[in-house]
Structure 1
Amino acid sequence: MARYTGPKTKIARKFGEAIFGDDKSFEKRNYPPGQHGNNRRRGKKSEYAVQLMEKQKAKYTYGILERQFRNLFEKAKRSNDVTGEVLLQLCERRLDNVVYRMGISKSRRGARQLVSHRHITVNGNLVNIPSYSLKPGDVVAVREKSKSLVAIEDALQSNSSVYEWITWNSEKKEGTFVTIPQRLQIPENIKEQLIVELYSK
């Protein structure tokens, strides 16, 4: 299966929340997609359906495909800490996610494109792998030739988010991944325990 590139609002409506960030279309129609929308009356979802929905939401939020997500889960399971929390931390450590968190791009999809198109450096070296996992102390910067890109300028000007585990220098257009975030510091509304239960069956 290829990466999803279709309408974002449709997916957000499916989960009942704006998982891709601010979305005016979602605000207008924040009910399930489809012909009957609000009028669809369904019975109570099974335990499996609820767990699957949560996993799908996490995958769409971070833009990760099934095999990659499963590999992240296996890696989290091998750690000595809480599996669900480590899973989200691994997602947060991805280069495309950190570029998005730093405000260099308005969306994770845009951040992935900036990384793939060689606009981002890590510790002074060009890295074009969106799934590259950052370590505490790594410095993420906009490549010198790309600092004047309109898309990057716009994103940085409209960014007001501040995260405790990231520092940002607007003059140099570079930031530091200071530390791995704790669960309370990750703003995503994901019930990671449901994902752990699903994969543990």
Structure 2
Amino acid sequence: MARYTGPVCKLCRREGVKLFLKGEKCLTNCTLERRNTRPGQHGGSRQRKLSGYGAQLREKQKIRRTYGVLERQFRRHYNEALRRPGRTGENLLQILEMRLDNLVYRLGFADSRAQARQLVSHGHFEVNGRKTDIPSFVAKPGDVITVRERSKSLEYFKTRALQLSQKAVPGWLSLDIANMSGRVLSLPSRTDLELPFEEQMVVEYYQVR
């Protein structure tokens, strides 16, 4: 499975905003706050004003990097969003939020989406009682994500269970700490997500290509 393995702080510096790719570590030890320049030899030079296409590209890259999705998979998610009724940009965010790795992160079982992706790939979760180790699996309302019984005895999940009461879970999800499981109550609305993205620019980016 292809994935980005380079330094993630460079991605935040490139986009000029916190993408929270390291989870809570980004709140206390953020490279962007110490070095708010683009990476590379000419990162400190004055940046030219972006064209319309450049702004659309940067917005697409910001969303793609936040969710840890490579280009080909991101395009597949966009095509699926295009087929669904409603606003394509909002559909795209819903699909990304309903990915299994993102749900594991949102439920508090991991500190970052990258960590959640690793936990899913290692087979620690079930969806509706069936082992699912595909991070890109897209869940539906009503689906239940559970830590596998054999994984609950691991030290990581024992510690995580003690921390879950301090985690805030979005209103479109529910968390059962005792059973180490979560349920998808509904698709998230755009107001539920509170994400600093302009997803319509992504739609415009793909429309002109």
Query: How high is the TM-score relative to the length of structure 2?
Result: 0.89
Percent identity over the alignment is 47
Structure 2, unaligned runs of 5 or more: none
Instruction: Specify which of 72, 77, 92 is matched with residue 72 of structure 1.
Output: 77
The answer to whether structure 1 residue 40 and structure 2 residue 45 are counterparts is yes
| Separation (CA, whole Å) in 1 of partners of 2:206 and 2:95 | 16
CA contact (8 A) 2:169 2:175 kept: no
Structure 1 residue runs without a partner (length 5+): none
Decide whether aligned partners of structure 1 residues 152 and 59 sit closer, same or farther in structure 2, where only a CA change above 3 A counts: farther
> Partner of 2:145: helix, strand, or coil?
strand
Distance 2:154 2:112 in 1: 16
Residue of structure 2 in register with 1:184 after alignment:
191
Runs of 4+ that moved beyond 2 A = 25-37, 148-156, 158-162
Asked whether the 8 Å contact 1:105–1:151 carries over to 2, the reply is no
In the other structure, the counterpart of 2:96 is 91
Aligned partner of residue 145 in structure 1, secondary structure? coil
Equivalent residue letter for 2:192:
Q
The more displaced of 14-23 and 144-153 is: 144-153
Q: Shift of the alpha carbon at 1:34?
A: 3.1
Range moving further from structure 2, 155-164 or 7-16: 155-164
Query: Which region of structure 1 is more displaced relative to structure 2, 68-77 or 96-105?
Result: 68-77
Partner Cα separation in structure 2 for residue 25 and residue 96 of structure 1: 23
Q: Which residue of the other structure, out of 163, 174, 178, is the alignment partner of 2:181?
A: 174
Measured in 1, the distance between the counterparts of 2:117 and 2:41 equals: 33
What is the number of equivalent residue pairs in this alignment? 200
Report the residue type matching 1:55 in the other structure: K
Deviation at 1:13, TM superposition (A): 1.2
Q: Which residue of structure 2 aligns with residue 123 of structure 1?
A: 128
1:165 aligns with 2:172: yes
